[in-house]
Structure 1
Amino acid sequence: MFFLILFLATISYSSQLIAESELVDFVVAGSNYDYRTDFTGGEKTIGIKRLLNGLEDDDDKWQLYYFCAKAKGANKKNCGSWVDGKGNKIKGEVTLKATLKGKNVVLGPVFVRDAGRYASIFEDSKQQTSVVQVRVRPPAPLHG
């Protein structure tokens, strides 16, 4: 019985570690962040999505950005703007620009409010990519 409990505890802890093993990148506030798409299948990236820190992982909470040069169909009408999970343009303080440059998506300028989880979007919704946790650091203080 002891070994069964130990085994179940180990499985539970291991699955928690796997869930928390997202890629983590750091960026200084006010600078650009290069989200890399040079992975296998990355050339099929048609946009990028993000889930800002503090929001629960719900499909409607992800913000989506489609690249006009790659988006098709219904996604084409929303290209070039951040939209919510229902396709409505997000109003307010969404100042983050996303530009596809070769095998990278340049995001910037990035501010503390942009910290969160980022992932590629593909035309085929079954295609998935790793999620990158983007953490934003304040700029270094100036010493005078």
Structure 2
Amino acid sequence: MRTFDLAPLYRNTVGFDRLFSMLDSGGNVDSAPTYPPYNIERTGETDYRITVAVAGFTPAELFIESKENSLSIRGEKADVQSGERSQVLYRGIAARAFERRFQLADHVEVKGARLENGLLHVDLVRNVPEAKKPRTISITTSAPATAQQVEAQVAA
């Protein structure tokens, strides 16, 4: 069992309460859902991809919603309405409903999604506005005043 005491960090920081609460709650691995499995990849400097294994689901049975800093992927299997009902002797292919939620960083937007070979690829891009990007500030120095400049300022 791994536990970390983050209390000393609380008194030295301001505005990171959400980060610390996420770290505190993230340590409990036993309660984390494992279905469906997924990957998170970095495909470029500002591009990311979430890949979710959704074998057996059609595009009509998958729902993707992006709201504020949250991405939700849901899958609901349609009821089988065939004339012939077969009896399943062993069900090894999971076809249960699921919902996966991902917290997105600031300025991360969903670019698109595609279903390919049982994998749902959701492409993300991080667009930081120009006003939020770091900028370099030039430093100017003032040369020491010469005797002539001092006399001109005194005369004025």
Name the TM tier (shorter chain). Answer: under 0.3
State the structure with more CA Rg.
2
> What is the TM-score with the length of structure 1 in the denominator?
0.28
Q: Which structure has more RCO (C-alpha within 8 Å, separation ≥ 6)?
A: 1
More helix by share: 1
> What is the TM-score with the length of structure 2 in the denominator?
0.26
